[in-house]
Amino acid sequence: MPMPVKAVLFDLFDTLVIIEGGETFYEPSLRKLHEFLTKNGVTTSFNDFSHIYFEVRDKLYEESSKSLEEPHFNVRVSRTLKKLGYNLEAQHPIVTGATNVFADEFIRYVRLDDDAVEVLEKLHGKYKLGIVSNFAIPEAVWTLLEKFNLKKFFDVIIVSGEINKRKPSPIIFEKALKDLNIKPSDAAFVGDTPRLDVKGARDAGIKPILIRRKRSATDRPTMIWTPPKDDSNLQPDIIIKSLRELLVIL
């Protein structure tokens, strides 16, 4: 029996696009960021910089896990530099430039899911479609959507770093529903991470669909930061192994 919905919302990373090699991107991206800073007068070694960076980042993520806020990536770069004695605010050109080079390197590790375009083409027009993504560099999300020509499919695109709210907060889902003018019970959400996607959608009254592949960079982070283990066993309405299965269940 098809799932009776009017809107389908999607997570982005490891759902519509795949991060190749899990957290493999992190060190080269951080090295590019450090190289940029070095060219712009920061003399700290990579080892010293990365040590402080991860301290700052992990503290920010601890705070975010409680507040469910999503400060822009620029904030962690700025705070890292301040701890190293460089008083540069989050919007300083050196800080934003460093964020951009990190994002450019990260993007090299992202590929389109094999079924994404075909599935979106078939759902587009039948349903209102949206993206609800946790990411601290929203500019990278927009770049990826342009790169893979996906933007045309979506009626709403919400990125946590733009609105300072992250999944599983129901607020980020509620914003998407409001923009679509859709009731929660008329929407499904497809994501790969139980503690973020299933819990967040469920708390917002949306039907959660879990896509479970062999490996998910965002569900088993190491360098990407490990969140508290709560609600990890929350069950979705449906589990799928590929996006193509959506064409059957919807």
Q: Burial level of 162, CB count in 10 A (0-12/13-18/19+)?
A: middle
CATH number for 7-19+111-249 (one of 3.30.1490.20, 3.40.50.970, 3.40.50.1000, 3.30.540.10): it is 3.40.50.1000
DSSP letters along 7-33, please? EEEE--BTTTEEETTGGGGHHHHHHHH
Q: SS3 breakdown of the chain: % helix, strand, coil, rounded to 5?
A: 50, 15, 35
- Bond before 228 cis per omega within 30 degrees: no
What mean pLDDT, rounded, does the chain reach?
Answer: 92
Question: From CA 126, how far away is CA 67, in angstroms rounded?
Answer: 36
Asked if the model's pLDDT at residue 54 lies above 60, the reply is yes
pLDDT at 127 over 70: yes
Q: What percent of the chain has pLDDT over 70?
A: 92
Boundaries of every domain in the chain: 7-19+111-249, 23-107
What's the pTM value of the predicted model, to 2 decimals?
0.91
For the beta carbon of residue 183, count every other beta carbon within 10 angstroms. Answer: 12
Most trustworthy range by pLDDT among 3-7, 19-23, 165-169, 215-219: 165-169
What is the pLDDT averaged over residues 184-189?
Answer: 97
202 with 238: CB under 8 angstroms? no
Beta strands of 93-243 (E only): which ranges? 110-112, 128-133, 156-159, 187-191, 207-211, 238-240
3-state SS, one letter per residue, for 38-102:
HHCCCCCCHHHHHHHHHHHHHHHHHHHHHHCCCCCHHHHHHHHHHHCCCCCCCCCHHHHHHHHHH
CA distance 194 to 235: 8
Assess whether pLDDT exceeds 80 at residue 82.
yes
CA dihedral sign, ordered 232, 205, 176, 76: negative
